[in-house]
Amino acid sequence: MRVVIPFDATDPKTRLSAVLDASERQAFAVAMLRDVVAAVRETGHEPRVIATGPVAVDAPTTVDDRPLTPLVDAAIDAGTPLAVVMADLAIATPAAIDRLFSADGDVVLAPGRGGGTNAMVVRTPAFRADFHGTSIRDHRANARSVGATATELDSFRLATDVDEPADLVEVLVHGDGAAARWLVEAGFTVALEGGRPRAVRENRG
């Protein structure tokens, strides 16, 4: 099965701007991508990165600056079965990805928090992607509309995409790869704010 990892190499992770500057966001996004590449590889698959621009990752890479939806549709058209795994799943494990790849269904969807879709397996070439808005609902509907069975993979690790400062605590608490190390080296630690754990950045003298 082909596995593709789309990556936004152009000003990635803008919603982390409150805590990371542009070069830090770039470095952190690449660290997450490397973790996802490594996790996919441990399942026995060689992923291809499809990036909007050049990126420093040790994996076959195609540069393609189309938005996510036409990009994934083109990948489906190039051949199924196809797996798509987002590049910001910093706490994805090989076990979780293996569960995704092994699940039955013409289409297997791994929901992301907030109505998103963080990973999928497409075994039917008629299926179309739609990453705008509440994509998990759109993907369910798109599967139905082509008569495909859609199953959903119940994984916290695949549901956790890292977009906002509030997401960083998940990387510190559950991650053990390049992204978690990057955050620790950048001075992030877990602290309680109003009784709730948050990733906070220590003052560096």
Given the rule CB under 8 A, which residues bind its own copies? 93, 95-96, 99, 111, 113-116, 132-134, 136-137, 154-160, 166, 169-170, 173-174, 190, 192, 195-197
Check the CA dihedral 163-164-169-170 and report its sign.
Answer: negative
CB-count exposure of residue 98 (10 Å: 0-12, 13-18, 19+): middle
Q: Least Å distance between CB 28 and its own copies?
A: 19
Distance (Å, rounded) from C-alpha 139 to C-alpha 127? 9
What whole-number distance in Å separates Cα of residue 39 and Cα of residue 21? Answer: 27
The CB-of-110 to its own copies minimum distance in angstroms stands at: 8
Q: Give every CB contact of residue 43 below 8 A, 6+ residues apart in sequence.
A: 94, 97, 98, 101
Identity of the residue, 18 or 23, whose beta carbon is nearer to its own copies in the bound complex: 18
Least distance between its own copies and beta carbon 154 (Å):
5
> For residues 6 and 112, which CB has a smaller minimum distance to its own copies in the complex?
112
Question: With respect to its own copies, which residue has the nearer C-beta, 114 or 125?
Answer: 114
Q: Nearer to its own copies by C-beta: 58 or 154?
A: 154
CA dihedral (174, 180, 181, 183) positive or negative: negative
Residues 6+ apart with CB under 8 A from 141: none
Residue 134 beta carbon to its own copies: minimum distance, rounded to whole angstroms: 4
3-class SS at 112?
strand
Q: Which is nearer to its own copies, 48 or 201 (CB)?
A: 201
Q: Residue 56 Cβ, how far from its own copies at the closest point, in Å? A: 29
* Nearer of residues 36 and 49 to its own copies, judged by Cβ: 36
| Minimum CB distance to its own copies, residue 88 (Å) | 15
The encoded tokens of residue 3 equal 């596995």
